[in-house]
């Protein structure tokens, strides 16, 4: 690379922002959002009933936690290699491992959140005639929300970051900008990718935090008092 070449070229961003190419920044950004969001949503939908089952039948928690920890410890690349024969070089090859990574964080968060509900609160709900389902929906889950969403914030940010690894199979969203920069010895795509991924992570974290404040109005009232 020419020594006089600037570290970052804004003109490159402008010319590649919304072109007809599938590797335009806008297209890569959209793909990155989809591959980040789907594992978070799937992880939350699966972890809630699975976590509640582990709370209801405690003997399930240890084996479930052990399996999730093993999956979380596996590097992404070997998982991609195992999935490629079944899913090919598609987004699903990235989404499936990220969903399991999300479960590894969210299942313990659901169990810990339910464990944070004081016994006297449960007993009061029973004394008031709440059915088990009503007690779960109106009492236990709202109290568990801060712990669960704390785990969801971790999952959201990590999912946005880990999607970039999919660039190794051509499905990395903004991570494809890193491989492009490496292959051409040209820093601008890498810098643009880093900035956009950080911004996405901040936006995702902010959305989950806003949801937590919306779902726990009593916590705002407590702080105000």
- Domain CATH code at residue 193: 1.10.3720.10
**Assigned domain for 140 exists:** yes
Q: Are 82 and 22 spatial neighbours (Cβ–Cβ below 8 Å)?
A: no
User: Would residue 144 count as lying in a domain?
Assistant: yes
Does residue 5 sit within a domain? no
- Report if residue 14 sits inside a domain: no
4 within some domain: no
Of 177, 173, 167, 221, nearest to 200 (Cα)?
A: 173
Low-confidence ranges of the chain (pLDDT < 70): 1-5, 218-225
| Residue 215 pLDDT | 83
The per-residue pLDDT for 1 is: 46
Distance spanning both ends of the chain, measured CA to CA: 60
In a domain, 199, yes or no: yes
| Mean of the per-residue pLDDT values of the chain | 88
Asked whether residue 205 is assigned to any structural domain, the reply reads yes
How many CB atoms are closer than 10 A to CB 132?
11
How far is residue 196's CA from residue 25's CA, in Å, rounded to a whole number?
10
Domain that holds residue 48: 23-219
Q: Is residue 185 part of a domain?
A: yes
Give the dihedral of Cα atoms 49, 105, 27, 170; nearest 10 deg.
-110
Provide the number of structural domains found in the chain. 1
Q: Give 138's DSSP letter.
A: I
SS3 for 23? coil
């Amino acid at each position: 690379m020419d020594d006089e070449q600037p570290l970052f070229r804004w003109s490159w961003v402008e010319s590649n922002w919304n072109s007809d190419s599938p590797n335009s920044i806008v297209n890569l950004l959209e793909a990155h959002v989809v591959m980040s969001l789907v594992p978070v949503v799937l992880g939350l939908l699966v972890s809630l009933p699975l976590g509640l089952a582990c709370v209801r039948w405690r003997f399930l928690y240890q084996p479930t936690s052990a399996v999730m920890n093993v999956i979380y410890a596996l590097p992404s690349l070997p998982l991609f290699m195992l999935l490629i024969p079944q899913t090919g070089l598609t987004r699903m090859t990235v989404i499936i491992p990220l969903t399991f990574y999300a479960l590894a964080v969210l299942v313990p968060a659901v169990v810990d959140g339910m464990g944070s509900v004081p016994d006297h609160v449960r007993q009061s709900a029973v004394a008031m005639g709440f059915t088990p389902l009503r007690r779960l929906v109106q009492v236990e889950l709202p109290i568990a929300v801060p712990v669960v969403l704390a785990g969801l914030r971790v999952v959201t940010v990590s999912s946005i970051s880990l999607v970039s690894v999919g660039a190794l199979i051509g499905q990395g969203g903004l991570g494809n900008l890193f491989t492009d920069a490496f292959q051409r010895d040209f820093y601008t795509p890498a810098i643009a990718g880093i900035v956009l991924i950080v911004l996405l992570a901040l936006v995702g974290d902010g959305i989950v935090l806003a949801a937590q404040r919306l779902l726990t109005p009593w916590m705002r009232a407590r702080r105000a008092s």
